[in-house]
Amino acid sequence: MFTLLMVRVYLEIIKDSYNKKQLIIMSTQQRKVTIIYYSDDGLELHHEVKVFEQNDEGRVVIPQAFKDGKSIIAVCDGEIEILNKIGDRILSVNYTA
């Protein structure tokens, strides 16, 4: 036979389980973005399309591992086709003495 205390504990477990599921669903929202950046070892502008998690305010959370070695210039929503960027037409110049 269930006592009132046992029913209350059972309901608290269900409530806690529901809140955890809700929290997991909220934290796994993802967004596809195009990130424009410079590598720390060069002047060529790069871009990559990635899917990252976003926080409750809708801001994309970029992992530190991706940020390492880069200076991020812009984060664009969705997949962006970049037609031209700075540095595409610069030719290397050989200086002779």
Global pTM value: 0.61
Burial (CB count <10 Å: 0-12, 13-18, 19+), residue 10: exposed
Q: First vs last Cα of the chain: how many Å apart?
A: 97
The ranges assigned to domains in the chain are: 4-77
Q: Please give the radius of gyration of the chain, using alpha carbons only, rounded to the nearest integer.
A: 24
Q: Of the spans 28-32, 44-48, 61-65, which averages the highest pLDDT?
A: 61-65
Identify which of 81, 95, 75, 86 has the alpha carbon closest to the alpha carbon of residue 42.
Answer: 86
Q: How confident is the model at residue 5 (pLDDT cuts 50, 70, 90)?
A: low
- Torsion region of 64: left, alpha or beta (phi above 0 gives left; psi -120 to 50 gives alpha): alpha
| Amino acid in the structure at residue 86 | I
CA distance 70 to 35: 11
Q: What is the pLDDT of residues 48-80, one digit of tens each?
A: 999 999 988 889 999 999 999 999 999 999 999
Instruction: Give me the pLDDT at residue 58, please.
Output: 86
Cβ proximity of 57 and 29 under 8 Å:
no
